[in-house]
Amino acid sequence: MDILNAVQVTKRYAAHTALNKVTVNVPENSIFGLLGPNGAGKTSLIRIINQITAPDEGEVLFMGEKLHPNHIVQIGYLPEERGLYKKMKVGEQAMYLAQLKGISKRDAMLQLKEWFEKFEILNWWDKKVEELSKGMQQKVQFIVTILHKPKLLIFDEPFSGFDPINVNLLKEEIMNMKRNGSTIIFSTHNMSSVEELCDHIALINKSEKILDGKVSEIKRQYQSLSYEVLYDANEPITNTTLPHPIQLIENMKVDGLYKATIRLSVPDETNHLLSTLMQRASIKGFHEILPSMNDIFIETVKSNNSNNPNITDNE
């Protein structure tokens, strides 16, 4: 079941089209990567989901219903540009924002103190926001975004400005929220985080969706049929010892073993390759080299740009 469906959404700003008939389906209880270069249209879609703006054409459904102001309490949004009041005390502001989300004063105090302790910022409760580092301010905003346990969370570059320890802390909490039933839309340029966290993605470029699906299926779709083989042998494998049209791309010796990169022409050559290799070497390791999400992002966007050279960046 999908928690959110953006159906043929179009958004224009004066002469610019930020979104052009974009359809995105976000499965419930998943982490969904909303990806694209700067100016692709991601922010426009996020603003529409948060009802900051409305689509010019198309519609957005939330849990099967047309998006309505009443739904906003079930959506948590952490924008890339943080928005805390610098002169307010941290605890006072967190309490205020929590109560705006419908949490009672007593429950807000209990939950906030627990989260502040977990994130090691409890000592800053009575400090002004402007006295906090950027990372600590982001922790506060992350906490107030998730405190009311919304069904859908939207994180726009949530790890920006964090050191590796705090990035891991946030990643753990995001995975915990998914395990507890939340759905997360995750917008980032960090493809390693996409690979690590996301179940599904949609890639937008120049106002249009150009790729979407499960991360595992997309990686299969872009597979190059390349394999890494770790083997022990008296002599290294060469192209002449491999059956045509299988190609040896690279071969080197590492810690006494040979490591070869081999490319097939069709998937069903795997057994033929292995049987050939086992006649000449002792195989210690064999695995397919799948493309990274970073490689797929670059390849897909470049291909789309070359096929649509007259479309300019918008948003």
* CATH number where 127 lies: 3.40.50.300
Residue 206 sits in the same domain as residue 108 = yes
In a domain, 21, yes or no: yes
Q: What phi and psi values does residue 241 have, to the nearest 5 degrees?
A: -90, -5
Q: Which of 154, 185, 213 is the last residue of a domain?
A: 213
In a domain, 315, yes or no: no
Q: Which of 213, 246, 268 is the last residue of a domain?
A: 213
Closest CA to 189 of 8, 298, 35, 4: 35
Residue 68 sits in the same domain as residue 157 = yes
Q: Cα–Cα distance between 222 and 4 in angstroms, integer?
A: 27
Residue 103 sits in the same domain as residue 135 = yes
| Amino acid identity, position 302 | K
Domain that holds residue 94: 2-213
Residue 19 sits in the same domain as residue 139 = yes
Closest CA to 238 of 228, 249, 230, 229: 249
Closest CA to 193 of 146, 142, 157, 151: 157
Closest CA to 243 of 204, 271, 212, 216: 271
Residue 240 sits in the same domain as residue 198 = no
pLDDT tens readout for residues 28-65? 999 999 999 998 999 999 999 999 999 999 999 999 99
DSSP of 110-129: HHHHHHHHHTT-GGGTTSBG
pLDDT tens readout for residues 64-112? 999 999 999 999 999 887 678 899 999 999 999 999 989 999 999 999 9
In a domain, 305, yes or no: no
Report, in angstroms and rounded to the nearest whole number, the Rg of the chain calculated over CA atoms.
Answer: 24
Q: Give me the number of domains the chain comprises.
A: 2
Residue 95 sits in the same domain as residue 183 = yes
pTM equals 0.87
